[in-house]
Amino acid sequence: MTRDRLSDKTLKSLPSNVSVPAYDRAGITPGIVHLGVGAFHRAHQAAYVDACLANGESDWGIIGVSLRSPDTRDALKPQDGLYTLAIRDSAGEQLQVIGSIQSLLVAPEDPGAVLAALTDPRARIVTLTITEKAYLRAADGALDSAHPDIVHDLANPGSPKTAHGFLAESLARRRVAGTPPFTVLCCDNLPANGATLHRLLIEFAKLRDADLARHVADEVAFPSSMVDRIVPATTDADRLRIADELGLEDSWPVMTEPFRQWVIEDHFPAGRPAWEKFGVTMVEDVRPFEDMKLRLLNGAHSGIAYLGLLSGHATVDRAFADPSIRQFVDWLWAEAIPTLPRDAGLDPIPYTAELAVRFSNTALAHRTAQIANDGSQKLPQRIVASALARLEAGLLPEHLSLVVAAWIAACAARGGTLPEGHFTDPLDAALNDLFGRNLATATMAEAVFDLAGFAKGHAERERLIEFVATHLVHFKQGGPKLAFAALGIGNEPPRLTE
């Protein structure tokens, strides 16, 4: 059956249980340019902005930019940028059509149009969700200035490919035109994400000209933020179900959970929407929130993903229902919690209790393979940082180090017990090369640490590698069962005899 498409024109035909933008979309002007307009942005920042627009703040419409693929633009353009957000848990599904994305651009097709959007004086904030690997950091954390895309952007400033290239060129043009800089709001899961991007962009600008680097350093604001909402990839079954519920076709609805959180450092010299009216926490220092989220939510997520994959679980809820993995996550949290800053008054106990409920959400079917992607980019801030902090404090990181080993074991299992290409990593070529060399386990662990830059230059690096190598031996000899058993997980409790 062919159905009409969701669009401004068909909005009024939606059933009354679907909420729709409660504002005149034609009256909105673009105030935010978002780089990386994927599902996460559409479930999170775009939904918060939608609430601000409905509250009459009409100058914060979003221009969504894809830095790589045209897929999102192709899906949403015929829908006037509209899409359905499906908020799901065991209680059911609540549908909300989001209207905050006014237009969509595809950078590789027309970098000039992206630069035009970024230099428009009405654009006062640039937000980013481009994933960890798109920040193009070398193993030592500095800008990877030898990366071909960076080399390209330095040689062709008027047609960039990277976020760095777009930000630097548009800030340079705004400066020449006398337009105040926009505020750059990083929304990726990186530690001190604003400060990290600021540092990388200064490094990039220095390679162009020292004056621009000074401008970026002194005059552009980069507040850090912590973003949180679980957003599994949309499936064809989701598309069919949503179309049935809407009575209209939506090419790319987004699935998510009821929970959402956004904590932002309040430093927006060019102005900002009144996000705080809609549940956003504006703070001076995001670090305690960010550490808690990266180490407890994302750290556990990565553990569940790799151990889940190695134990045959395709989704987070199923892996988390596995008693060994469940027990492991509790121990992981117990290891990570003492590494968190204590000065902020945050309480990790109710936080982890809530995480346990979120990870058990069976309506999401969040795939372990989705989270497994890009481990080399994710583990430093999720796992390695807390493991090193424990070692420094004279504490053991037995469970944290198991996640690093599980990542290596899962990477090596692709093409064997896991399908080839089941998940990917920017280091895949080099990792596969290592796995093919039949190295002794300890040598291999060391080589992976070198490759990924884990714990580079840290005094406790060797000790951490020893833990990882020991777990790897267990994975090799007896899979996750033996690795768990060595930690006392999943063993039969001792039987009392009369």
Residue numbers at the binding site for ligand CS2 (CB under 6 A): 189, 228-230, 297-298, 301, 370-371, 378
Task: Report the C-alpha gap between 143 and 148 in whole angstroms.
Answer: 12
For ligand CS2, the closer CB: 283 or 305: 305
Task: Report the C-alpha gap between 302 and 298 in whole angstroms.
Answer: 6
Two structure tokens written together for 227:
């973003």
State the nearest-atom distance from the C-beta of 117 to ligand CS2, in Å: 26
Residues 184, 186, 190, 194, CA torsion sign: positive
* Strand runs labelled E in 39-186: 61-66, 83-89, 92-98, 101-106, 125-128, 183-186
For ligand CS2, the closer CB: 82 or 283: 283
Give first-to-last CA distance, the chain, whole Å.
69
For ligand CS2, the closer CB: 19 or 370: 370
Residues 231, 237, 239, 241, CA torsion sign: negative
Residue tagged 């909005």 (tokens)? 11
For ligand CS2, the closer CB: 30 or 299: 299
For ligand CS2, the closer CB: 371 or 452: 371
State the nearest-atom distance from the C-beta of 294 to ligand CS2, in Å: 8
State the nearest-atom distance from the C-beta of 278 to ligand CS2, in Å: 17
Q: How many CA atoms lie within 13 A of 464 on its CB side?
A: 29
Q: Which of 371, 391, 400, 423 is nearest to 295 (CA)?
A: 400
For ligand CS2, the closer CB: 105 or 406: 406
State the nearest-atom distance from the C-beta of 298 to ligand CS2, in Å: 4
Q: What is the DSSP letter of 4?
A: P
Task: Report the C-alpha gap between 32 and 336 in whole angstroms.
Answer: 36
State the nearest-atom distance from the C-beta of 232 to ligand CS2, in Å: 8
Q: Helices (H) and strands (E) in the chain — how many of each? A: 21, 11
Q: How much helix, strand and coil, in percent to the nearest 5, is found in the chain?
A: 50, 15, 35
Residue nearest to ligand CS2 (CB): 301
The answer to whether 321 and 380 have CB atoms below 8 angstroms apart is no
State the nearest-atom distance from the C-beta of 94 to ligand CS2, in Å: 19
**CA geometry: angle at 307 spanning 93 and 347, to 5°?**
65
* C-beta neighbour count of 316 within 10 angstroms: 28
**CA geometry: angle at 5 spanning 244 and 23, to 5°?**
100
For ligand CS2, the closer CB: 34 or 301: 301
State the nearest-atom distance from the C-beta of 370 to ligand CS2, in Å: 6
State the nearest-atom distance from the C-beta of 130 to ligand CS2, in Å: 13
Q: Which of 310, 429, 296 is nearest to 369 (CA)?
A: 310
For ligand CS2, the closer CB: 132 or 169: 132
State the nearest-atom distance from the C-beta of 371 to ligand CS2, in Å: 4
For ligand CS2, the closer CB: 254 or 391: 254
